[in-house]
Structure 1
Amino acid sequence: MRKQFTDKVALVTGAGTGIGRASAQALAQVGARVIVADVAAEGGEETLRLIKDADGEATFVQTDVSKAVEVEELIRQTIRIYGHLDYAVNNAGIAGEEAGTISHSEEGWDRVLAINLKGVWLSMRYEIPEMLKQGGAIVNLSSFAGLRGSGGTVAYTASKHGVVGLTKAVALEFARQNIRVNALCPGFVHTPMLQRIFETHPGVQGQLAERSPVGRIAKPEEIAQAVIWLCSDASSFITGACLPVDGGLTAC
């Protein structure tokens, strides 16, 4: 049986762990050829192995999305290997410091904004010229923190709000050129990023689950299914949307 994304090419940044890995695996499962991009070679290579072990097709390209020259090379390699680009999941991001406005370091602020926001812009800057040739769909990863305030993580919150605004602006810019641009705003998801918080703050896992209206933390695979839908023709009339996938968290 023909898979939904056969003959399609998908790029996932930050694909070495968490939502990025789950998204890369899900795209491969529906037939896409996947470029796995991550700054960490070990994680990226492991995602590549998992996809190939499941009979999927993928290539790993080590990339720091905060550096234009590396993002440009990532897209160059994508086209060299697979010939075109249909889908992009701009997921790479970091949590940064747990700090408020006064206590946050300037260096930490710059690093979070460079990866979480500038990295998404740079990715689209080089992805879109290739998509203009045949159309495409872009999914940017924001957060529930991009839709509401979140005390104590000022740079992260600012960066994720920025992704929401950037997504809307780019969606409008290319709406009539067969490129759809949407964002996902996950709630609490059991990823290595969140696991590190659990390890340094005992008891917080239960507290976060309790805060969720559905009473639990999401699995990365649940966010990946929303990625698949936003890339697919099933969402063909959706662009500029910033979709909460948060178990009702932002409905509170």
Structure 2
Amino acid sequence: MNFLITGATGIAAATVRLAVSAGHSVFVTSLNAEDCALLNMPYFAADLTDSAQATAAVAACVAELGSLDGVFCVVGGSGRRFGDGPLDACTDDGWRQTFALNLDTTFFIARAALTQFLAQGSGGSLVLISSVLASHPEPGKFATHAYAAAKGAVQSLVITLASYYAPQKIRVNAVAPGLVRTPMSQRAQTDSEILEFIKTKQPLAENLLNAEEIAKAALFLLGESAAQITGQTLTVDGGWSVS
């Protein structure tokens, strides 16, 4: 199968490696060309917060692979550096840039992918990335309200897209990770208090999750084993949501 994966580090990189090992063809798009090149896959460097560049990335993927079977929208990240936080302290820029990074990128890539799926007429699988924080907040240590709102919007988008496009055999799902060991979580990885907290918050791992665990879920939803699954958000959180 031919997959487009947005992002080139962390969960995205793990999914690229897993998909290739399973025999799939993969095309990568992300902002940093150097990160893309490290994956040794065909790629298109693009700022996916820009509609035209996102559309061009999907077109480049189809030109390279010939067709498109599935897309995993991974690009996103924390908005703390922009000013995200508790809503009373969240800045205008923090809100807007966090939404741009996590929701605009999803919208632009999803729209271009769905347009391609419809043109092909053979269905397709779209997998988005949400977060456990969208439905299971942790106010003491992870009070980033713009981020949670953006990821909650992703989950709503999954449901409405799945309903609309099911007659065209297009499936839409999401993965909602817990705290994962990626470049985005560097702050948590070096915070002894958070590391102690996560031992009981994610009791199955007693630690941050490995990106490969999220990649397994994404690849399942992309592939034929999930052919009858749509409109779902699969939470992979090491027990966060039940702890």
Normalised to the residue count of structure 1, the TM-score between the two structures is: 0.89
Aligned-pair distance for 1:43? 1.5
Aligned-pair distance for 1:91? 0.6
- Residues 226-247 of structure 1: CA distance to partner in whole angstroms, max 9, x if unpaired? 1111112111111000111111
Task: Give 1:221's aligned residue.
Answer: 212
Task: Give 2:186's aligned residue.
Answer: 195
Q: Secondary structure at the match of 2:235?
A: strand
Quote the Cα distance in structure 2 between the aligned partners of 1:103 and 1:235: 41
Aligned-pair distance for 1:179? 0.6
- Residues 77-107 of structure 1: CA distance to partner in whole angstroms, max 9, x if unpaired? 1111111110100010011115111111111
Identity of aligned residues (%): 29
Q: Give the counterpart of 1:67 among 34, 47, 50.
A: 50
**What letter corresponds to residue 205 of structure 1 in structure 2?**
L
Counterparts of 1:1-80 in structure 2, within 5 Å, are 8-14=1-7, 16-48=8-40, 58-80=41-63
Aligned-pair distance for 1:47? 2.0
Q: Give the counterpart of 1:211 among 194, 201, 206.
A: 201
Quote the Cα distance in structure 2 between the aligned partners of 1:211 and 1:179: 35
Residues 201 and 239, structure 2, Cα contact 8 Å, conserved in 1:
no
**What letter corresponds to residue 177 of structure 2 in structure 1?**
P
**What letter corresponds to residue 243 of structure 1 in structure 2?**
L
Aligned-pair distance for 1:148? 2.4
Q: Secondary structure at the match of 1:77?
A: helix
Quote the Cα distance in structure 2 between the aligned partners of 1:70 and 1:138: 19
**What letter corresponds to residue 13 of structure 2 in structure 1?**
R
Quote the Cα distance in structure 2 between the aligned partners of 1:91 and 1:60: 15
**What letter corresponds to residue 25 of structure 1 in structure 2?**
R
Quote the Cα distance in structure 2 between the aligned partners of 1:218 and 1:197: 12
Please list every run of 5 or more consecutive structure 1 residues that lacks an aligned counterpart in the other structure: 1-7, 49-57
Indicate yes or no: 2:79 matched with 1:96.
Answer: yes
Counterparts of 1:111-190 in structure 2, within 5 Å, are 111-132=97-118, 133=120, 134-151=122-139, 152-190=143-181
**What letter corresponds to residue 181 of structure 1 in structure 2?**
V
Quote the Cα distance in structure 1 between the aligned partners of 2:207 and 2:72: 25
Please list every run of 5 or more consecutive structure 2 residues that lacks an aligned counterpart in the other structure: none
> How many residue pairs were aligned?
234
Q: Secondary structure at the match of 1:243?
A: strand
Residues 64 and 71, structure 1, Cα contact 8 Å, conserved in 2:
yes
Quote the Cα distance in structure 1 between the aligned partners of 2:240 and 2:201: 8
Normalised to the residue count of structure 2, the TM-score between the two structures is: 0.92
Q: Give the counterpart of 2:65 among 79, 82, 86.
A: 82
Counterparts of 1:231-250 in structure 2, within 5 Å, are 231-250=222-241
> RMSD over aligned Cα, in angstroms?
1.4
